[in-house]
Structures are given as C-alpha cells and as structure tokens.
Amino acid sequence: MKVTVERSTLLKSLGHVHRVVERRNTIPILSNLLLSASENGLRLKATDLDIEVVETIPAEAAEPGATTVPAHTLYDIVRKLPDGAQVSLETTGDSGLVLRSGRSRFQLQTLPESDFPDITAGEMAHRFVLPAGELKRLIDKTQFAISTEETRYYLNGIYLHTIDVDGRPVLRAVATDGHRLARVDTAAPQGSVGMPGVIVPRKAVAEIQKLLEDGESEVAVELSGSKIRIATASVVLTSKLIDGTFPDYQRVIPSGNDKRLTVDKGDFAASVDRVSTISSERGRAVKLSMADGRMTLSVTNPDSGSATEEIEVDYEASPLDIGFNARYLMDIAAQLDGDTALLKLADPGSPTVIQDREGASALYVLMPMRV
C-alpha cells in the first residue's frame, strides 16, 4: 500500500474514528485502525466491538492495499505535523508502515488486516432520512438525563421510537436516570413509522453528537432489532443497541399538575447557581418557596451557612415550598430554548414538569428532594 493524503483531511478523519478505540485493550487488533487505499481514496475504520466508524477521505493511492496501525499513535503523530503538510503512508515488507511528511519519518508496527473484526453484518429493516440538525437536537436536549448507573443498564442510553401524538406521528427521544426525565419530539420522517423502539447506548450517543457537529445537512438512519447505523456524506457509524426494555416513561409524566409558574429562565438559573454555592457537594438541595408573584430560593448548609434570594415570577396558586437538586435544575434550564421557563407543580412530594412554554416539543420531569 502506498498513499498520499493532505494532513488536515487526515487529522479531521482520525478525530472522528480514533475516539472509538479504547486506550486499554486486551485484544491487540482493537487498538488499531484499518487503513484501506483504493482509487476511491483512503478508508479508515475503527471499532471497539460495540461501535464501528468508517470514513473515506480523498487521497492519491499509488498502490492499493490495506493494513492496520495503532490508532492513538497515528492520531498523535498527524496532530503534531505542521499545517498544510502532505502525509505519505507506505507499507514495508516486514509488517511495518512508514509515514513520511516533510523531513519527518516514522516507522509503525502493523497487524494483518485480515484479523480486523467486522460488526456491520446483517440486514437493517428500517431506513429514514432526517435533517442532521433535528437528530442533533433530539440528542443534545436529552443526553444529560442518561443514567450512569450500570445496574439499570436499560437506562444507559436514549430511547428512540415513533409515537402518535394528537393524530400525527412523531419521532421521540427519551432519557431518564430515575431523578429526572427528558422527552423531545420532532416530526416523524418518512419511513420511520413502525420502527422498533431502540435504546442507543451512551458512548454511541456521544460519537453521533460529535459527528453531527460538522454541520451536515442530512443524515440517514438505519435500524434493526439489535443495531443502529447513522450515515452522513462521508462517515458511517454502526452501533449495537442496548438489549433491554425501556420502562413505561409515560406513567411518570404527571398530567394533573395544576399550579403553574412562569419565570425568566436566565434569572432563575443564575439565582439557583448563586444560592447553591453554599450547598454541600453531596446534597445540593435548593428550596423554592412560591407565593403571590414571587419565589424565594434558599439553601441551608450546617457546615458553611445559608443563602436566600428572591425573584419575581408569574404565580397565582396557593403558596408552596418544594426542594430540588440545584445541579438538575440548572441542567434543565440550559436545555430550554425560550426566554422563560414554565413549571407545573402539584405538591412538595410529586414530580414537577418543566417546559419553555405550553405545548413545547421538549418536556422535562424533575423529582423533588426533601429539604
């Protein structure tokens, strides 16, 4: 194999694929990238046996061929090369790869490409295309609520499914960790209706999110019962799904919360941030006391003191005191699009619904804390 490629193009592609490769591997081949040169360009492929990322980039292939090289080493070398440099990759007879760029020359150990695993086999039953911005929105606004508790593994991802809302189909993303829940809808793309409900694992969610940062216009999604594939113009990511049943999230979204409070989102988040400075790292509870047209936020920490702050709100129901985790409140406030936050409350022991406005496509549920 002998191929020449532009340093910036190679670096951008390595940035996409090398993240999938774990730093520590018991199987040596999984530390490597598969490089394949042909007249179509240079194809880079990485996997950790759960996720596989493939990208093809423009390159001049003098001799077609394939080999595998250590992913993180190659990434670090290319990252340190000067901008605008040309990179030449050539295999040698003694299971090595020589990388040349300007006056630099590196010799890397390789492993045979025939050992490289392939996880993409199998038919994908459902396929649909949607704007990349919409998929990014579904992920961005729900990702923070994914559980990190390994015992409830079925919560370690985003539940993606289609559902009928008021007679129109929507594609919905849901994530929860038992303390808070995020639910975001977008119009169901053609071909998505009838797809199986799937749980996309946390690592795959993070990789998809980074792929979509490049401002792609459209993205193709393919699904089977056990895998999901996301394809942009140049990158294809395939991931195994979490094999489990997502709980019935509809049950925990309260519909009878009759106390409505509207507050300026920026003022509210800043106030929560200020008073929570006093709270203990472990507890982080902030107490909200609502009465006619005002909310008092207070935190008491026996070790360091107390803090209170009052802000104006639109609230006409009976007075109510309720406690929340300050970090969770700020996380949700950061996801709201508008200038205001709408809180629908019931009592100090019941979950609260938070949206930017009535009927918004994003809805958040937060469990209260004892304060």
> Does one domain contain both 92 and 135?
no
Residue 215's pLDDT is what? 64
- Residue 220: domain span: 126-251
Residue 121 resides in a domain: no
The answer for 145, left when phi > 0, alpha when psi is -120 to 50, beta otherwise, is alpha
For the segment 15-44, the average pLDDT, to the nearest whole number, is 94
Whether the CB-CB separation of 144 and 128 falls below 8 Å is answered with no
- CATH number of the domain encompassing residue 214: 3.10.150.10
**What pLDDT is recorded for position 370?**
86
Residue 239 contacts residue 224 (beta carbons within 8 Å): no
- Give yes or no for residue 6 having a pLDDT over 90: yes
Phi, psi of 39, deg, nearest 5: -65, -15
Residue 214's pLDDT band (boundaries 50, 70, 90)?
Answer: low
Q: How far is residue 221's CA from residue 232's CA, in Å, rounded to a whole number?
A: 9
**Beta pairing partners, 310:** 296
pLDDT tens column, 143-193: 999 999 999 999 999 999 999 999 999 999 999 999 999 999 999 999 999
Q: What Cα–Cα distance (Å) separates residue 352 from each residue in 64, 107, 343, 348?
A: 60, 60, 7, 9
Q: Is residue 104 part of a domain?
A: yes
How many domains is the chain partitioned into structurally?
Answer: 3
Query: Domain for residue 271, yes or no?
Result: yes
Residues 90 and 148 in one domain: no
13: Cβ–Cβ under 8 A, 6 or more apart, which residues? 44, 55, 57, 234
Residue 139 lies in a domain: yes
Establish if 336 belongs to a structural domain.
yes
Same domain, 9 and 54: yes
Average pLDDT value for residue range 81-99: 93
pLDDT, residue 283, reads 66
Classify residue 371: in a domain, yes or no: no
Nearest by Cα to 237 from 11, 39, 25, 46: 46
Predicted pLDDT at 119 = 85
What are the strands of the beta sheet with 218-223, ordered from one edge?
A: 65-70, 32-38, 41-47, 51-57, 235-240, 227-231, 218-223, 126-131
The confidence score (pLDDT) of residue 95 equals: 80
| Residue 120 placed within a domain | no
Can you say how many angstroms the Cα of residue 53 is from the centroid of all Cα atoms in its chain? 16
**Does one domain contain both 80 and 156?**
no
**Domain boundary pick from 251, 268, 301:** 251
**Boundary of a domain, candidates 115, 138, 161:** 115
Say whether both 177 and 106 belong to one domain: no
Burial of residue 73 (CB within 10 Å: 0-12, 13-18, 19+) is middle
Tell the burial category of 293 from Cβ atoms under 10 Å away from its Cβ (0-12, 13-18, 19+). exposed
pLDDT greater than 90 at residue 231? yes
Residues 6+ apart with CB under 8 A from 281: none
Label the pairing between strands 180-187 and 362-366: antiparallel
Cα–Cα distance for residue pair 162/103, rounded to 1 Å: 55
| Residue where one domain finishes, among candidates 115, 140, 174 | 115
- Radius of gyration of the chain, Cα coordinates, nearest whole angstrom: 25
